Structure 1
Amino acid sequence: MNTPKVAEHIIKWLKEYAENAKVNGFVVGISGGIDSAVTSTLCAKTGLPTLCVELPIHQAQSQVNRANEHIKQLRERFDNVSEAEVNLTSTFEDFKTVVPEVGSSPKVDLALANTRARLRMTTLYYFAGLKGLLVAGTGNKVEDFGVGFFTKYGDGGVDLSPIADLVKSEVYALGEYLEVPESIQKAQPTDGLFGDSRTDEDQIGASYDELEWAMKMQDAGKTVDDFKDRQQEVFKIYSRLNRINQHKMVPIPVCEIPKNLK
């Protein structure tokens, strides 16, 4: 990948899109991870107002520290960057008191994790509406179009996706080129939605490098029978997630009414 040229292309694309949409700039949720760090840096490099919002909900201190380090660095580098913090922990806890009590189970834990992401999306759009900004998505290609590792109408609810055509390794290459803090470049990827130390790899069962490989193999027309041992296991993981999460990756179905019924 020609990293400098890719960065230049995305920055130009972002700026032109915002100008054509007649908005002021961008708002980005900052998690302390590589994807949001790269996205926010690219937005900042457009020269347009870029609002970095930290949205902790029972967040691990290490994630908070990395997010703060990144925002501080961006503000030192770019005059067009501003910041806000909205601690949504109490809002999340209030939500749990008004929904039906269903006890603790994997389904409940997942539903509440997705609720965290949707509360954050709502908050980002509050700022977007208030300041005339676009919500910039932080999903990469493997997450958005490979395994569907995002929350529908949560971190998947955005106005535009600047890095969604880049796999994770390419995002890391951009992060190094854009001088994202080293602590973020070295951190294990995590969505931080469960309030514990589990990583993305813990949840998915495969690393991003393995998922990138499986994505390439599927695109090349390979099947599970073409592989053995760990490769076969990874390909099965990827194929299953790609299949069951198609509802996140394709447009919502619309019931089209036959003209003779109208």
Structure 2
Amino acid sequence: MQTEKVVQHIVDWLRNYAKKNNMEGFVIGVSGGIDSAVTSTLCAQTGLRLLCVEMPIHQAANQVNRAVNHVNWLQENFNNVETTTTHLTPVFDELIVSLPSVENEEDRFMALANTRARLRMTTLYYFAALEKLLVAGTGNKVEDFGVGFYTKYGDGGVDLSPIADLLKTEVYEIAKHLNINQEILQAKPTDGLWGDDRTDEDQIGASYPELEWAMQMDELEKTPKDFSGREAEVFKIYQKLNRANQHKMNPIPVCEIPDEFK
């Protein structure tokens, strides 16, 4: 990958899109992870206004610290970066009290994890509406179009997706080129939605390099029978998630009314 050219292409694309739509800049949720770090840095390089929002919900201290350190680094290097913190823990806790209990607690945990992401999306669009900013997405190609590892109308609810055509390994390559903080480069990827230390790999059952391989094999129309051992296992994981999450990746279905009924 021609990293420097890719970076410049994304920065130009972001700037042109904002100006074409008469927007002042971008707002992004900064989590302390690699994707939001890279995306926020690319937005900052446009020279347009960038508002970084920290939105902790029972967040692990190391995640919060990485996010704070990254925003500090951005402000040291770019004069167009602003930051604000919205503590969503009280809102989340109050919502839990208001919701009915369920028999299957595991289903409840998953629903509440996605609720965290949707509260953050709502918060970002609040600031976007106030300040005439675009909500910048942080999803990469494997998450957005491979396994659908994001929350529908949560972190999937954005105005534009700067890094969605980049594989996770390519995001890391760009991060190194941009001199992203080492602590972020070394941190294991996590969605931070569970209030514990589980990683993306813990949840998915495969690493991002493995998923990228499986995505490539799927595009070549391979089947699990073409592989054995760990490769077969990873390929099955990929295909299962890809099929289950098509509802996230495809446009919302519209019930079209026949003309003769109108």
Fold agreement, TM-score > 0.5: yes
What's the CA shift for 1:156?
0.1
The equivalent residue for 1:49 is 49
Q: How does 1:78-97 map to 2 (within 5 A)?
A: 78-97=78-97
CA distance in 2, matches of 1:259, 1:104: 45
Q: How does 1:87-166 map to 2 (within 5 A)?
A: 87-102=87-102, 105-166=105-166
Q: Deviations over 1:17-70 (max 9, x none)?
A: 000010000000000000000000000000000000000000000000000000
Secondary structure of the corresponding residue to residue 76 of structure 2: helix
1:143 maps to a residue whose letter is E
The equivalent residue for 1:211 is 211
CA distance in 2, matches of 1:180, 1:188: 15
The equivalent residue for 2:62 is 62
Secondary structure of the corresponding residue to residue 84 of structure 1: strand
Percent identity, please. Answer: 64
Q: Alpha carbon RMSD of aligned pairs, Å? A: 0.6
Secondary structure of the corresponding residue to residue 234 of structure 1: helix
Secondary structure of the corresponding residue to residue 51 of structure 1: strand
The equivalent residue for 1:188 is 188
Secondary structure of the corresponding residue to residue 53 of structure 2: strand
The equivalent residue for 1:20 is 20
1:53 maps to a residue whose letter is V
The equivalent residue for 2:5 is 5
Secondary structure of the corresponding residue to residue 233 of structure 2: helix
CA distance in 1, matches of 2:45, 2:93: 37
CA distance in 2, matches of 1:5, 1:182: 23
Q: Deviations over 1:119-148 (max 9, x none)?
A: 000000000000000000000000000000
CA distance in 1, matches of 2:179, 2:21: 29
Q: Deviations over 1:88-145 (max 9, x none)?
A: 0000000001111226611100000000000000000000000000000000000000
Q: State the aligned residue count.
A: 262
CA distance in 1, matches of 2:5, 2:192: 32
Secondary structure of the corresponding residue to residue 47 of structure 2: coil
Task: Mark the runs of 5 or more structure 2 residues left unpaired by the alignment.
Answer: none
CA distance in 1, matches of 2:209, 2:34: 15
CA distance in 2, matches of 1:7, 1:87: 32
The equivalent residue for 1:173 is 173
How does the TM-score come out when normalised to structure 2? 0.99
1:146 maps to a residue whose letter is G
Q: Deviations over 1:62-86 (max 9, x none)?
A: 0000000000000000000000100
Secondary structure of the corresponding residue to residue 5 of structure 1: helix
**Is 1:71 paired with 2:71?**
yes
CA distance in 2, matches of 1:193, 1:111: 11
Task: Mark the runs of 5 or more structure 1 residues left unpaired by the alignment.
Answer: none
